Structure 1
Amino acid sequence: MTLAYWCVLIALFLPYLSTITAKAVSGGFSPRHNHDPRALLDNLSGLGRRANNAQLNSFEVTPAFAAAVIIAHLAGGAEQALLDQLALAFVLSRIAYFICYVADWAALRSLVWFVGMGLIVSLFIVAA
């Protein structure tokens, strides 16, 4: 299995870093919140809300990244090392995105988001 495929697996689990953060700062790991955890997450503020928003964005972008990696592999137009580097850069951009979101660095977060989207587009372009 290629590094790019491993990056897809990592990207699938990255949203849960945000989930854990949101719940940890809000006391969401108590048994009473386990009956309806989404209600808890919907009513957060501050750091917990930002972490939950990062989670939602991660769930939104991950399918596009996974599709880009799979399509780039199937198209076969790029060196594997380049695909691996782009995929790893995407994962690192998502970690940076999470950090920017919870730290409330809005402008930098938006810039990092654009970098991540650019990396997804790059996977398509290099495979063409």
Structure 2
Amino acid sequence: MFIAVLCVLLAMLQPFVLSVLARSSTRRGDYLPSPREYNESLTGWHKRAHFAQLNAFEAFPPFAAAVILSWLAGVPPARINLLAVLFVVFRIGHAAFYLTDKPALRSQSWKLAMMAVVALYVLALVQLA
């Protein structure tokens, strides 16, 4: 379970890394008065980094819950670890494809990451049945 917990930590940190990337071309004082308005004014890959950040925040809760619930249900740790690693790898791909403006690959990465989450829930349900 060490690997799965590490993956939860990495998934939790991803939006913050993307936030730093989104604002990397600016001085800190530029966005402090109104960060949400500032984020909406971003362009190019900085704006895509902001959108990737928002998506990473949305993807995190179902993933974290799936890891916890599958563990509580007694799913074998090796399966949880594998699916957690796959989720993180696909989410890193999702962010990279977002930043580099490759929407088809970005969407595929998103789907695969969500399939890993669904698989964790299904394994938990099967274990509890």
With the length of structure 1 as denominator, give the TM-score of the two structures: 0.91
Structure 2: distance between partners of 1:37 and 1:124: 36
Q: Which residue of 1 aligns with 2:28?
A: 30
Q: CA deviation at 1:34?
A: 1.8
CA distance in 2, matches of 1:104, 1:81: 34
> How far apart are the structure 2 equivalents of 1:126 and 1:9?
21
Structure 1 residues 94-119: Cα deviation after superposition (integer angstroms, max 9, x where no partner): 11100000000001100000000000
Q: For residue 77 of structure 2, what is the aligned residue in structure 1?
A: 80
Superposed CA deviations along residues 48-78 of structure 1, whole A, max 9, x for unmatched, are: 11000000000011000001001000111x2
Aligned partners of 1:20, 1:99: CA distance in 2, in Å? 14
Other-structure match for 1:52: 50
Residue 115 of structure 1: aligned partner: 112
The CA deviation string for residues 3-33 of structure 1, in whole angstroms up to 9 with x for no partner, is: 21221111111111211111013x1x33242
- 2:10 maps to 10
Q: Structure 1 unaligned runs (5+)? A: none
The one-letter amino acid of 2:72's match is: L
Q: CA RMSD in A?
A: 1.2
CA distance in 2, matches of 1:40, 1:32: 8
Cα drift, residue 126 of structure 1 = 2.1
Which 5+ residue runs of structure 2 have no aligned equivalent? none
The 3 A distance-change label for structure 1 pair 105 and 4 is same
Give the equivalent residue in structure 2 for 1:71.
Answer: 69
One-letter amino acid of the counterpart of residue 70, structure 1: I
- The runs of 4+ residues in structure 1 deviating greater than 3 Å are none
Give the distance between the partners of 2:78 and 2:114, measured in 1 at CA.
Answer: 20
What letter corresponds to residue 11 of structure 1 in structure 2? A
Distance 1:96 1:61 in 2: 14
